[in-house]
A and B are shown apart, each in its own frame.
Chain A
Amino acid sequence: QVQLVESGGGVVQPGRSLRLSCAASGFTFNNYGMHWVRQAPGKGLEWVAVLSYDGSNKYYADSVKGRFTISRDNSKSTLFLQMNSLRAEDTAMYYCAKDGGRNLDYWGQGTLVTVSS
């Protein structure tokens, strides 16, 4: 069965960096685009970034453009999110999700990022 397991979250000071990982299994990873979606505490869902199956196309939400970088290692079935210049408003649960063809058909359990001094 499809499994997505995020890691790398934690507490970080404003302006610092953090790298999230999402280990995938149960499907042919290099055939699918992958997304990051976040959810601030008690709030709704915000799409963050998407990366095509081969890593050639990547797109970002305006709120993170220029600060976050999405990447993948298909040899290790792993998705990454490098987050630089973190702000308090980046505090959220970060989910990776598999692209099911203009829908998000499988989600990981999430990893919590808290930006605080």
Chain B
Amino acid sequence: DIVMTQTPLSSPVTRGQPASISCRSSQSLVHSDGNTYLSWLQQRPGQPPRLLIYKISNRFSGVPDRFSGSGAGTDFTLKISRVEAEDVGLYFCMQDTQFPATFGGGTKVEIK
């Protein structure tokens, strides 16, 4: 199985400041069809996960443009340009390039 490693485990951020989360995969996530199936999910406290970003950098419907994704191959990053109170929660990367789909361990974003 592909192992997804996220850093940091926790990210205390001042409201209005940027935050960055890293995700590294144990193998390349480039699929034979040329796409890279790396997505990012947000889980607010007490809520189910919600899709934010798919295929590295595509924002899902309704996701604010302060969220952006980048990367290639085995190294990926989620950035929040200006953290707001509603962004508090857990963030997970997920790969679905290779069966089975696997998730990173999660990064907790909190307001300082």
Contact = CB atoms under 8 A, between A and B. Distances in A.
Nearest to A49: B100
Chain B: number of interface residues, binned into ranges: 20 to 34
B70 to A, nearest CB: 17
Grouping DSSP codes into helix (H, G, I), strand (E, B) and loop, the B interface class, with mixed when no group exceeds half, is loop
A40 to B, nearest CB: 12
Nearest to B33: A102
A47 B100 contact: yes
Contacts of A102: 31, 35, 37, 96-97
B51 A44 contact: no
A105 B39 CA distance: 10
Chain A binding surface SS class = strand
Contacts of A100: 51, 54
A34 B11 CA distance: 32
B102 interface: yes
A50 B96 CA distance: 12
Given A44-B92, A100-B51, A105 B60 contact: yes
B48 A103 contact: no
Best-surrounded residue of B35, B48, B49, B55 (most CB of chain A within 10 A) = B48
Contact of B96 (A45, A62, A103, A106): A103
B51 A95 contact: no
Interface of A: 35, 37, 44-47, 50, 59, 61-62, 95, 100-110
Interface of B: 31, 35, 37, 39, 41, 48-51, 54-55, 60, 92, 94, 96-97, 99-106
